[in-house]
């Protein structure tokens, strides 16, 4: 799957967007996140995976816990990509689909 595609797919689910919003306020481990969402830990882990594949979040282990945080370094690129789609501009080079 293309990089773009995994990004947009990741954003297509409301739970995943909410996870990003929560992580904007600060890192959290999987268990803490799990308390905020009314779905099983397994399902949540699945969402984490998609967010990681899209390079939107990163993880580190601390003992038994896995700490999730935004991969802020990617957010600039993401913003550029979205503006490319949405803003006017001369479309000099088409970034996707060719």
31-61 b/e (C-beta count within 10 Å ≥ 16 → b): eebbeeeeeeeeebeebbebbbebbbbbeee
Can residue 38 be called a binding residue for a second copy (CB under 8 A)? no
Give the pair of three-digit tokens for residue 24: 């904007």
Q: What minimum distance in Å lies between the beta carbon of 90 and DNA?
A: 27
Among residues 3, 24, 40, 65, which is the contact residue for a second copy, using CB under 8 A? 24
Among residues 31, 49, 86, 93, which is the contact residue for a second copy, using CB under 8 A? 86
Can residue 35 be called a binding residue for a second copy (CB under 8 A)? no
| Residue 30 interface partner, choices a second copy, DNA, none, CB cut-off 5-8 Å depending on type | DNA
> For the chain, how many residues are written?
98
């Amino acid at each position: 799957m293309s990089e773009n595609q995994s990004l947009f797919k990741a954003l297509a689910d409301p739970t995943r967007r909410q996870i990003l919003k929560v992580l904007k306020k600060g890192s959290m481990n999987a268990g803490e996140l799990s308390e905020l969402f009314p779905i099983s830990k397994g399902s949540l882990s699945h969402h984490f995976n998609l967010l990681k594949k899209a390079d939107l979040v990163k993880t580190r282990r601390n003992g038994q816990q896995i700490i999730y945080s935004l991969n802020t370094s990617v957010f600039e690129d993401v913003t550029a990509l979205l503006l490319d789609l949405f803003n006017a501009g001369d479309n000099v080079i088409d970034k996707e689909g060719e």
